[in-house]
Structure 1
Amino acid sequence: IAILPARVRRPKDKPNVEGSVGKISTWITAALRNEQFFSLAELNSAIRKKLDIYNARQFQKKECSRLSLFLGEEQPLLAPLPATPFEPAEWKRATVQFNYHIAVDGMYYSVPHQYIKDKVDVRVTDTTIEVFYNHDRIASHRQLHGRRGQYSTVTEHMPDDHQKYLEWNGSRFRRWADQIGPNTRKVVDAILTSGRVEQQSYRSCMGLLRLADKHTPQRLEKVCERALSYSGKPSYKSIKNLLTVMKQEPDTGLSSGTDAQAKPRGITRGARYYGGKRS
């Protein structure tokens, strides 16, 4: 079967279609030209009645009507409509980042971690983000809307060492840190907010808080206090190194420099001892 598309502005290339337009104009448009309608629904109802009559009329040279021809020959060959309406899509190219996410319009969507550093094709619709690698779909997400910088992460896309921390979350680490002290809580907050994906910081939080078992909660709290005096966002590694360096010092030696300077040294006689005014 050869398919020959009709040329532009060549009505004779599609005589059956053009003929039907003329017949519809005669049997429906002309038949209703003197009628008055006060709503679109009323007009559509009148058109439907005329159309049903037109389709039921017998052909002049065939022993059938348009309706019977459709029901007997064409309808059985029709495929069902798609389950969802067609959505226009835009295709983009992206590179899988080190955190197994891709960036699309300011949002981040996960893909299986095996594709880190690979280039992928992204199909973007109003509702869905689909990711393809070598024409195979490897990920699908509901499109994120609203505040930029949001993440959509699928558990199965995460490496095994990230998945084992799924029973943990930021709130649980913060509650654990609160039991040790306010400075430990500040360090945990800094670690949790240090990366683009919070789950990537869980391993560091776990390691930090377990230092309290290896040393003591008091020592960890004081080391966190000192680390915060050096940096507003200390890392797990910096806390661990600081503990190692100061391992031989007694707990009292771990207080901050400010506290140490505030303590009196030796025997100090005030102004009252010498009869002077009290400062």
Structure 2
Amino acid sequence: KDKASVENTVAHVATWVIAGLRQQQFTSLPELRAAITDRVGAYNAEPFQKRPGSRASVFAAEEQPLLTGLPAAAYEISRWAYGRRVGRNGHVVWERNYYSVPFAHVGTSVDLRITDRVLQAYRGSERLTSHLLLPESAANEYRTNDADLPAGEKYRQWDPERVREWAGRIGPAAVTVVNRIFESVPVDEQGLDAALAVLRLSRRYSAERVEAACRLALAGRVRSPRYAHLQPILATEQDKAAGLRPPRDEGVEHGGYVRGAEYYAGGAK
């Protein structure tokens, strides 16, 4: 109901301020801004015609005590990603990068709130952790808060060195496969998922069978065997067939069969 009255007052103030500044000349915007501020202050200090006080005195007595300070942080527009699963490494994936979540939430789903600067993980209305957002150009990088990790030596982040250690416990062929995976990518971290997919086959099959499958794959024409090459070998038990096949028993020739001069001489007769 007061909208029209407020609009009329604003228009009246603007007209009054402009009228008072029309005869002046200004050489810069700060100079003009200061003059407008003084003019508005003078308008608010003018006494009311039908009651005591002025706009400035009413503001100081009635409105100013009710004002609260502005928030310490400016409002940021955010977007949400719901139902993101926390991996076994205690991190959640967002735009090809990894952000840690408290280790107690491994295997659960969390919601992500993303602004221009920050990524936050929520479980319901509880905020679990907060990270500075990695730049858009980043890929396969980690943001890890120490407080999100379990105490002691219970957790160790996967890196190329640790992956090679695991491959070494399986066998030399597995080491070769892992090394070739890392050689096929520009940055080692980009090969972590592919290498781990190969090594995790040993959780379903034995390490001996995975090593045999790696040997078979390396004997083929694939330069860098991956999970897609090894899993069918194990599923169809080609590695077992290769292990049961007896080795070819071929005699070793120390010299060729040579027909001497007598043979040819005899044939010429």
Would you say same fold, with TM above 0.5?
yes
- Once the two structures are superposed, residues 8-50 of structure 1 have per-residue CA deviations (whole angstroms, 9 ceiling, x without a partner) of xxxxx33552343133123212222343434332321221121
TM-score w.r.t. the length of structure 1 is 0.56
How many angstroms apart in 2 are the aligned matches of 1:174 and 1:95?
Answer: 29
Provide, for residues 192-217 of structure 1, a one-character-per-residue CA deviation record: whole Å limited to 9, x for no partner.
72428x9x79x98xxxxxx9xxxxxx
Residue pairs, 1:1-279, within 5 angstroms: 13-14=2-3, 17-99=6-88, 100-112=90-102, 114=105, 116-118=107-109, 120-147=110-137, 149-155=139-145, 156-158=147-149, 163-166=154-157, 169-170=159-160, 186-189=176-179, 190=181, 193-195=191-193, 228-229=218-219, 232-233=225-226, 266=252, 268-269=254-255
> Is contact 1:109–1:153 with CA below 8 Å preserved after alignment?
yes
Deviation per CA, 1:258-277: give whole Å up to 9, x if none: xxxxxxx7462379x999xx
Query: How far apart, CA to CA, are the structure 2 residues paired with 1:175 and 1:117?
Result: 29
Counterpart of 2:105, as a letter, is Q
Q: In the alignment, is the contact (CA less than 8 A) between 1:141 and 1:152 conserved in 2?
A: no
Q: Tell whether the 8 Å contact from 1:59 to 1:65 is kept in structure 2 after alignment.
A: yes
Structure 1 position 163, deviation (Å): 4.7
Count matched residues.
Answer: 234
- Give me the whole-angstrom Cα distance separating, in 2, the residues matched to 1:175 and 1:116: 25
Partner Cα distance (1:151, 1:126) in 2: 18
Change in CA separation of 1:274 and 1:40 when aligned onto 2, cut-off 3 Å: farther
Kept in 2: contact 1:144–1:150 (CA 8 A):
no
Q: Distance in 2 between matches of 1:16 and 1:84?
A: 34
RMSD (Å) for aligned C-alpha atoms? 5.4
Identity %: 32
Cα distance 1:164–1:114, how it changes in 2: closer, same or farther (>3 A)?
Answer: closer
What is the DSSP-based 3-state SS (H/G/I as helix, E as strand, rest coil) of the residue aligned with 1:31? helix
Distance 1:75 1:92, change over 3 A: same
Deviation at 1:149, TM superposition (A): 4.2
**Code of the aligned partner of 1:164:** Y
Maintained 8 Å contact 1:58/1:65: yes
Q: TM-score, normalised by structure 2?
A: 0.57
Deviations 1:73-121, CA, capped at 9 Å, x for gaps: 4333322211111112223323315445444455443433525243x43
Q: Which amino acid aligns with 1:195?
A: D
Q: C-alpha distance in 1, partners of 2:33/2:53?
A: 26
CA distance in 2, matches of 1:63, 1:105: 63
